[in-house]
A and B are shown apart, each in its own frame.
Chain A
């Protein structure tokens, strides 16, 4: 220990002179004693009593000045500098999107219960505390917690909620109160980004701590806290006596101050010097700071359990961790449990050792009653309560690892890793817990079904779900085991996309209304193209047949390769690759014909980005997982607001959307309505790559866009096709979601017409074989069916008759 030695060195000269003066007589005396013991004994006091005392004093002064004082100074420095400059590294908290409830919102009881569970709400008999709910069968009472949102603090609120027919049918104040327009729940905390030392903590100030916890803690751990100066000799004596009686260590004599010192400054070893240091530092701490400061530090520092590899420190975090409630909402029996855990957080862990925890809690409740903090009656009632901790799963951190990867990716552009780990940031994300759970279930179930059908057991999967208009990502699964950490296929697996790319070929064609509409004819015949390396490329169709002359619409619906390549080459490869870039694909796209059939490697997330623009009618938004980042005190550091980028030619995009709904009603995805059990208008596209290595399905309703991928990690042929694998997983997810039909309203520049598809001619509603179809302005058929022509003639003859009569 260098500082004391240095300080001691300063006094060295003085001390050595004193030593020499003392040495001389000391050396002499043994000799004398040897010659005549008795005399010397009698003579010694007489000769040097005063001198000895002086020498002794000087010795101690020297030792004191030389060792103790510098040592105390050092300890003092340690205590004050650490305590005053104390700044705990706080983990960042990651929140899901808050659930907005209003009448008419599509919501099943299962989805509501998943939302409540993930937000740490406890089901109770009667919801009379924040963070609890009661009810079933469509009628619920929920006691919402207070929460500080970006647009202001929101008070706690108890409300009544009715669900009926898959919708919120009633939203009102409890017990006959008035209706409520909008109720926003506090968001689920879905993850924490921990400091490197893995300490988990939520700071509380003394006034946030319930009185019973403050007084009860003293009653159990340090009854004399208010009066002692850091160490409590009476407490030590009492503990010693108790230990002697029990012939074992049953009681510790450490004050709260000593415990804090131990937690705060010292290692865990048990030795006398350490005990002395602890006592000295406790005295110093009390000397410098008042009881309130010490107590507050203690309440935030005390170790209260281990969760995986992070340690829970302080009562604020412990309350959330074990009960899913803020500290000031805890009931008596819950406070007692936490107080009891101070003695041994793992020994009395309520989830791992519930019986011991219960016994300890009841013991604590008895001490509360003994010390008059609680009436015996109340203590008895509290002793009869269960532990009331939340199930472990709800409280474990990072339940949605694949989504959190995306959050980190987005934040890495603006924040350093170290800040995320220490500044206690509040990160507001777009995750929808109910939809994330549904996505995970869909992947698990889908993979089981595929295995049952004889597909390889090691098939992998990825699933992304996004809100169509805002680009907010609602769910991400990156592994067949959704809880697995590691390679996240949704974000990082670059795979050939196959036919999923084809719609863009048709889009570029529809952007030339003078040349193409859905009824235009194209040859689905063998085609051979020279590639850059001189070899020839001759794509074949999935069924190894050519289909002759087909319409653009049929070619898309049935995903014909030869027709698509011919169309793409007619319109121009450059337009196609340009379109990909316009839709947000950042990579270099090789300008070779094979890209028309999806010889482009993209991640599921990138595919989601491309289709977001299509699904949103040509208003592109960057996909987002984070909407805002705040400091712990609620100051907004960064917002990621909704930013739209309108694409050109939204008329053609809208017309393309119609084609994608036809893929579902009569094309390669025609099994989908059966899988979903719904005829709602949905747009979709299957994708299969060479030798069935990858299976893709992209589909969207009016408000949700989902991208599913299934394949093998090593890119071997997997026997999968778009419709036999990925579409099954996709359907598994969307079965659990409200299916709002895709809007096919046309924007300016496109409109619906009655046509006869065979004749490629304008027709009318009451004519045979007439269907309605959207056209980009300028692409409308110019001929009329005979039926329409006859009717028009009739009309004109009617008018001529009308005018003739006039």
Chain B
């Protein structure tokens, strides 16, 4: 495992986060483009090389595919409904919980985004891309809820997803 260095991108991100927190504007809804830029892409980069692809239940896969299509077409309520259905089948799938967290971010349900990402992290691998997506989602949610310090702490944690393996696994 390689130790990733502090990238300038991250510093910039941190700065914008802090500035956003100071500004104290009313939170605007998070669009998919922003989610891609600030959660998914950096998480992929953080995790380059350390990937876990868990086997998926085909029933769950069918529902998550539908949910992704609904999300892409902007029907976020439908996406949330489909993910909830998938969760009835596999309630403790960390990927599923993280997808729900991201949909909740886009719906402006920041508290719920936090909750689902937290749960995903609790039962997930706590390392690699999913871990980074967990923390970056939490960071964005904290930011929108006006907690700049928690937002920047979460970004730090996202970067550590590659550095330290959690104990006790």
Contact = CB atoms under 8 A, between A and B. Distances in A.
B82 interface: yes
Nearest to B114: A646
A104 B59 CA distance: 10
A617 B123 contact: yes
Contact of A642 (B57, B58, B61, B84): B84
B17 to A, nearest CB: 22
Contact of A102 (B57, B84, B119): B57
B59 A102 contact: yes
Given A181-B61, A182-B62, A641-B80, A646 B118 contact: yes
A646 B119 CA distance: 8
Contacts of A472: 88
Nearest to A745: B123
A792 interface: no
A470 B87 contact: yes
A469 B123 contact: no
B54 interface: no
Nearest to B166: A748
Contacts of A468: 91
B81 interface: yes
A13 to B, nearest CB: 70
Interface string B70-105: 000000001011101101110110000000000000
SS of A interface (majority) = loop
Nearest to A703: B91
B132 to A, nearest CB: 15
A639 B59 CA distance: 24
A748 B160 CA distance: 14
B8 interface: no
Interface residues of B, number: 31
A643 B111 CA distance: 9
Given A643-B112, A752-B168, A469 B91 contact: yes
A182 B63 contact: yes
A399 to B, nearest CB: 23
Nearest to A182: B59
Contacts of A702: 92
Contacts of A150: 81
Interface string A70-107: 00000000000000000000000000000010111000
Contacts of A743: 92, 123
A149 to B, nearest CB: 9
A792 to B, nearest CB: 18
Interface in B123-163: 123, 126
Interface in A158-191: 181-182
B110 interface: no
Contacts of A618: 122
Contacts of B91: 467-470, 703
Given A643-B112, A747-B122, A752-B168, A151 B58 contact: no
A469 B118 CA distance: 14
**Interface range on chain A: under 10, 10 to 19, 20 to 34, or 35 or more?**
20 to 34
Given A470-B88, A703-B91, A644 B166 contact: no
A751 interface: yes
A104 B57 contact: yes
Contacts of B57: 102, 104
A701 to B, nearest CB: 12
B122 A650 contact: yes
A469 B80 CA distance: 16
B157 to A, nearest CB: 10
B85 A100 contact: yes
B58 A102 contact: yes
Interface string A689-712: 000000000000011000000000
A100 B168 contact: no
A660 to B, nearest CB: 18
Contacts of B82: 151
Contact of A751 (B85, B88, B168): B168
Nearest to A750: B168
A453 interface: no
Nearest to B168: A751
Given A150-B81, A751-B168, A100 B122 contact: no
Contacts of B84: 641-642
A182 B60 CA distance: 8
A520 B90 CA distance: 37
A472 B91 CA distance: 12
Contacts of A38: none
A643 B119 CA distance: 12
B78 A644 contact: no
A619 interface: yes
Contact of A644 (B63, B88, B115, B121): B115
Contacts of B58: 102-103, 181-182
Given A102-B57, A646-B118, A151 B123 contact: no
Nearest to B78: A151
Interface string A457-490: 0000000000111101000000000000000000
Given A644-B115, A748-B122, A469 B92 contact: yes
B89 A100 contact: yes
Contacts of B167: 751
A374 to B, nearest CB: 44
Contacts of B169: 751
B89 A748 contact: no
Contacts of B123: 617, 743, 745, 747
A469 B94 CA distance: 13
A751 B121 CA distance: 15
A746 interface: yes
A416 interface: no
The residue in A102, A639, A702, A743 that gathers the most chain B C-beta atoms within 10 A of its C-beta is A102
Contacts of A413: none
Nearest to B62: A181
Contacts of A745: 123
A103 B58 CA distance: 8
A577 B123 CA distance: 29
A751 B169 CA distance: 7
Contact of B119 (A103, A644, A746): A644
Contacts of B168: 746, 750-752
A151 B78 CA distance: 6
The residue in B63, B122, B166 that gathers the most chain A C-beta atoms within 10 A of its C-beta is B122
A645 B109 CA distance: 13
A751 B126 CA distance: 14
Contacts of B87: 469-470, 642
A657 to B, nearest CB: 13
Given A102-B59, A182-B59, A645 B92 contact: no
A748 B92 CA distance: 16
B61 A102 contact: no
Contacts of A643: 112, 115
A619 B97 CA distance: 12
A119 to B, nearest CB: 17
Contacts of A747: 122-123
B9 to A, nearest CB: 26
Nearest to A746: B168
Contacts of A151: 78, 81-82, 85
A181 B60 CA distance: 9
Contacts of B166: 748
Given A103-B58, A748-B126, 4 more contacts: A100-B88, A151-B78, A470-B87, A646-B114
22 contacts: A100-B88, A100-B89, A102-B57, A102-B89, A103-B59, A151-B82, A181-B61, A182-B63, A468-B91, A470-B91, A617-B123, A639-B81, A641-B81, A642-B84, A643-B112, A643-B115, A645-B115, A650-B122, A745-B123, A747-B123, A748-B122, A748-B166
Query: What 4 pairs across the A-B complex have the smallest Cβ distances?
Result: A751-B168, A102-B59, A469-B91, A644-B115
Interface of A: 100, 102-104, 150-151, 181-182, 467-470, 472, 617-619, 639, 641-646, 650, 702-703, 743, 745-748, 750-752
